Amino acid sequence: MMNERLSRVKTGAIDETRKLFWIFLYLFVLLSLFSFYKALILNEETLIYHQGFALINALALAKVMLVGEYLHVGDNFKNRPLIFPIIFKSAVFAVLLVCFHIIEESFIGVLRGKTLSQSVPSIGGGTLEGIVGIGIIMFVVLMPFFAFRELDRVIGTEELRALLFETKARAASPILRRRWRTAAAAVAVVALGGGWLTWSLHRSTTARYVRQKVEAGSMVRTVTASGIVGPAATAPVIARVSGVIQVLECDVKMKVKAGQVCAKIDPRPYQIMVDRIKSDLAGAEARFAKDKADLAQAKAAFEHHEALAERRAISHTAIEKSLKTYEQAQARMKLQEVTVGQLQAALHAAEINLGSTDVVSPIDGVVLSRNVKMGQTVAEGSETSSLFLIAADLAVIHIAAEVREKDIGEVEFGDKATFTVESLPNRPFTGVVMQIGQSQPIHEQATNYDVVISASNPDLLLEPGMRATIRIQSQRRYDG
């Protein structure tokens, strides 16, 4: 009993796999031919993507069709003429095919950097008529498949094979022959009707000719060039103090904020200097306080002696001694006051130097380059060798292009330019010529010109260092 059950399960699995394979093969041929035709007509270079999606869609839809059989889709028309279940099933699964096609095109658009709204135009031209036309094509192509399935169900596999492939078909009953003829006629009528409807939906795309008076207008010339993508503005980060790099926090392509620490110079020598000056300042301030107290005491003594001198109760020598002591106290306090001020200024400078051991970004931006390594000794204020180079804003970029001397006369400020980069060959970008200048001569007979193009980069797809192929559109009006 158990062996018989396993044998039935195995036989059923083989039959279902065979059914799934033939359905998949039919759908894959259908979808791959449709994708190949579309790629040829539109001159697309992504045929491998379309064939891959055709494979996935065919497998998924084959499974759906097989499940539809188990769910007895269209069985309500089983006892009616064959044309009814054929049309119903073809329509249902044509709708499913269109849905898979829409999902496929949207996903391909996302892979190619498009948004959903940008992917819609590639689905049947982006119009309802185009999508309906695709559905009708799918419907017509599916009809032979379901016609054979229904004929197989009604007359049997052997009888169908005999009708199709044997020279002398076995005698069939009149009822079967009438059903076969009726089904074949119905399939032909529906195929012709579907073809006419598809043609009628698309016949408006035929060429139309318009007569127009010839008038003087503008002539557009295109100048080609190559260039390098760069930031609109940069800020170098230099060392404000000398020392050994102890910590590195920033690297290339890292986003940084103003004030963010990118590197740290060994702070110990500067900390020692701060501590020493603080100690000296504390001693100077203590001496200044003592001198201030001595001055107050000498002043009080001198004023007392002056009062006694008015009553002639003290000698002239004593008054002179008291005045000298007061003047010496004043001199000592002023000297100590200057010393305290100098030490306070020195402490402030030492604290600034200590704080400058933190190398920080001056702006918000992206690190373009890092020119320092751990353990490297850097010099104070070396403008020629910045530690980091930071781009201020990559939402707007500049392209430094070189235009040949023979073409530069066609380029003017404000001319529009389109360009692509090697990493995104199918994504065009636009910009405007904003600067023209003479570059260094290549040799005595030829000189190139530097042309700077400004372009927006809201999605940050363009990065500094990318090589761009540029087409500058120069429009001139000729009234001749």
Cα separation values, 375 from 263, 264, 265, 282, 436, Å: 11, 11, 9, 35, 43
Q: Are residues 49 and 194 in the same domain?
A: yes
Say whether both 32 and 100 belong to one domain: yes
Say if 461 falls within a structural domain. yes
Closest CA to 424 of 467, 393, 386, 471: 467
Query: What is the domain-level CATH number for residue 339?
Result: 1.10.287.470
Hunting for tokens 């033939």 — which residue is that?
Answer: 22
Residue 202 has a pLDDT of 45
Residues 6+ apart with CB under 8 A from 26: 145
Please list the pLDDT of the chain residue by residue as tens digits (480 residues).
566 767 766 776 777 777 777 777 777 776 666 666 555 554 444 445 455 656 766 776 776 676 766 666 666 666 677 787 788 877 887 787 777 667 766 766 666 666 555 555 445 555 667 677 777 877 777 777 777 777 777 777 677 667 666 654 444 455 555 554 555 555 454 444 544 444 454 444 444 445 556 555 556 678 888 899 988 888 899 899 999 999 999 998 888 999 999 999 999 999 999 999 999 999 999 999 998 898 898 888 888 888 887 777 777 888 888 889 989 999 999 999 999 999 999 999 999 999 999 999 998 888 988 999 999 999 887 655 789 999 887 888 899 888 888 888 888 888 899 999 988 888 899 999 988 887 655 555 567 888 999 998 888 888 888 999 999 987 655 554
Q: Distance between CA atoms of 100 and 56, rounded to whole angstroms? A: 10
Query: Do 195 and 138 share a structural domain?
Result: yes
What are the residues whose beta carbons fall under 8 Å from the beta carbon of 370, sequence distance 6 or more? Answer: 248, 250, 251, 252, 387, 388
Q: For residues 317 and 330, give the distance between their C-alpha atoms in angstroms, rounded to a whole number.
A: 20
Give me the residue label for tokens 């076969």. Answer: 180
The verdict on residue 130 lying in a domain is: yes
Residues 146 and 89 in one domain: yes
* Residue 211 within a domain: no
Please tell me the predicted confidence (pLDDT) of residue 199.
Answer: 44
DSSP secondary structure string for all residues of 213-234: -----EEEEEEEEEEEEEES-E
Q: What pLDDT score was predicted for residue 312?
A: 77
| Residue 227 lies inside a defined structural domain of this protein | no
> In this predicted structure, what is the pLDDT of residue 121?
46
Looking at the fold, whether 400 and 332 belong to one and the same domain comes out as no
CATH code of residue 467: 2.40.30.170
* Cα separation values, 230 from 125, 233, 366, Å: 37, 9, 12
Query: What pLDDT shows up at residue 12?
Result: 66
Residue 304 belongs to a domain: yes
- Asked whether residue 77 falls in the same domain as residue 183, the answer is yes
Q: Where are the alpha helices (DSSP H) in 257-364?
A: 268-310, 316-355
Please give the full DSSP string across 28-61, using - where no structure is assigned. HHHHHHHHHHHHHHHT-S-HHHHHHHHHHHHHHH
Tell me whether residue 181 is in a domain. Answer: yes
Q: Are residues 184 and 53 in the same domain?
A: yes
Helices (H) and strands (E) in the chain, counts: 9, 14
Domain boundary, last residue among 338, 356, 374: 356
**What pLDDT shows up at residue 204?**
46
pLDDT value for 169: 43
- State the DSSP code for 425: E
First to last CA, the chain: 99
On whether both 53 and 197 belong to a single domain, the answer is yes
What 8-state DSSP symbol labels residue 358?
E
- Boundary-marking domain end, from 356, 378, 404: 356
State how beta strands 261-265 and 396-404 pair. Answer: unpaired
Domain hosting residue 284, numbered range: 267-356
Are 415 and 342 within one domain? no
The verdict on 62 and 135 lying in the same domain is yes
Domain match, 306 and 403 both:
no
In a domain, residue 223? The reply is no
Distance CA 105, CA 122 (A): 7
What is the number of domains present in the chain?
3
CB-CB contact of 369 with 252 (8 Å): yes
Q: What tokens does 315 get?
A: 């000698």
Say if 379 falls within a structural domain.
no
Do 91 and 177 lie in one domain? The reply is yes
Domain limit, last residue, from 177, 205, 233: 205
What is d(CA 218, CA 479) in angstroms, rounded to the nearest whole number? 8
| Residue 201 pLDDT | 46
